[in-house]
Structure 1
Amino acid sequence: MEEKSMSDIIEQYLKSVLGESPTVEIRRSEIADHFDVVPSQINYVIKTRFTPQRGYLVESKRGGGGYIRIERVSLLDDVDILDTLLKGIGDLLTERDATAMIQTLYQEKVVTKREGNLMLMMIDEQTLAMSDRYARQRLRAHVMKMLLNRLRYEG
């Protein structure tokens, strides 16, 4: 049996708090106290697991009355989904982030399972067999941008 990391546990907890409601407001310090971790661990989970690529918008307000608002977004149509994902791609793209984007495309029924699997193969570390990690991430970002832009014009 695979043991879950603390980040996985915190992510699962936050998703359960979110439940069926589209938005939840949390206090970073309260969640950190609940799991006996430092607040930066909560920041890490939110930054890496609750991204637009995964269908979430996050708003953070720091200070005494600070909070983090996590909102699950349901994009209106394929173009909105593609635009949101495109905005999330910079010059470099990790395999993990690209995989999350492809999973979102599949969950939103923009691509079929077969198409998603082909896309996953295209961005795989072994497919982009380059010794320079940054060159690999640059190429992956370029490939994902090209794929997403092509999907915008396919009917």
Structure 2
Amino acid sequence: MSSISDIIELYLKRILKESDTGVIEIKRSELADIFQCVPSQINYVISTRFTLEKGYIVESKRGGGGFIRIKKVPLKPHQANDYDNLLEQIGHSISQMAAEHMISRLVENKLMTEREAALMRHLISRETLQLPIPFRDQLRARMMRMMVTILFANKGE
């Protein structure tokens, strides 16, 4: 059985996909009413499932006329900007969660296969990289940068 967070996420992704502009604006309180949950549940879903690593830009305006705007930002193969942006997001250190979100986004945008993603997830896991945290996150970032470089280099073949 799906959790309320999963249901809210699927709902938002569905209306985002149906949007002509690729952007949706929602009111936190209205969404909470629809799903019979507290507004903080909506905040949780948006902050954990609609991140930049997953390919979303989220803007929020609080107050009476407040809204949450979600925009899906797809990756396009063969564009230097996408490659540079990914490397910048990875940086010199990356957590396992952020790296896994990025891998999911690469699969979603068909820049990586599910098999490649499974291999990479195992390689970057804390179980594989049994090092103290700062070193583990730095090594994970080096691995992610190399993976992204290889993926973009091989898309032209």
| TM-score in terms of structure 2 length | 0.76
Q: Gapped runs of 5+ residues in structure 1?
A: none
Change (3 A) 1:112 1:16: closer
Structure 2 CA distance for aligned equivalents of residues 77 and 83 of structure 1: 12
Structure 2 CA distance for aligned equivalents of residues 87 and 67 of structure 1: 29
Structure 2 residue corresponding to 1:7, chosen from 1, 5, 8:
5
Q: Gapped runs of 5+ residues in structure 2?
A: none
Change (3 A) 1:47 1:87: farther
Structure 1 residue corresponding to 2:16, chosen from 11, 15, 18:
18
Once the 2 structures are TM-superposed, how far is the Cα of residue 49 of structure 1 from its aligned partner?
0.8
Structure 1 CA distance for aligned equivalents of residues 88 and 144 of structure 2: 11
Once the 2 structures are TM-superposed, how far is the Cα of residue 128 of structure 1 from its aligned partner?
1.0
Structure 2 CA distance for aligned equivalents of residues 91 and 39 of structure 1: 35
Change (3 A) 1:89 1:43: farther
Task: Give 3-state SS (helix, strand or coil) of 2:18's partner.
Answer: coil
How many positions carry a matched residue from both structures? 152
Change (3 A) 1:30 1:125: same
Once the 2 structures are TM-superposed, how far is the Cα of residue 27 of structure 1 from its aligned partner?
0.6
Task: Give 3-state SS (helix, strand or coil) of 2:90's partner.
Answer: coil
Structure 2 CA distance for aligned equivalents of residues 16 and 113 of structure 1: 22
The residue identity in structure 2 corresponding to 1:10 is I
Q: Which residue of 2 aligns with 1:69?
A: 69
Change (3 A) 1:133 1:14: same
The residue identity in structure 1 corresponding to 2:40 is S
Q: Which residue of 2 aligns with 1:41?
A: 41
Structure 1 CA distance for aligned equivalents of residues 134 and 38 of structure 2: 30
Structure 2 CA distance for aligned equivalents of residues 76 and 53 of structure 1: 15
1:47-66 deviations in whole A, cap 9, x for unaligned?
A: 11112322222121222211
Contact 1:32–1:42, Cα closer than 8 Å, also in 2: yes
Structure 2 CA distance for aligned equivalents of residues 60 and 142 of structure 1: 33
Once the 2 structures are TM-superposed, how far is the Cα of residue 78 of structure 1 from its aligned partner?
4.0
Structure 2 CA distance for aligned equivalents of residues 25 and 89 of structure 1: 28
Q: Which residue of 1 aligns with 2:122?
A: 121
Contact 2:77–2:152, Cα closer than 8 Å, also in 1: no
Once the 2 structures are TM-superposed, how far is the Cα of residue 150 of structure 1 from its aligned partner?
4.8
Structure 2 CA distance for aligned equivalents of residues 110 and 54 of structure 1: 13
Alignment of 1:46-125 (within 5 A): 46-79=46-79, 80-89=81-90, 92-125=93-126
| TM-score in terms of structure 1 length | 0.77
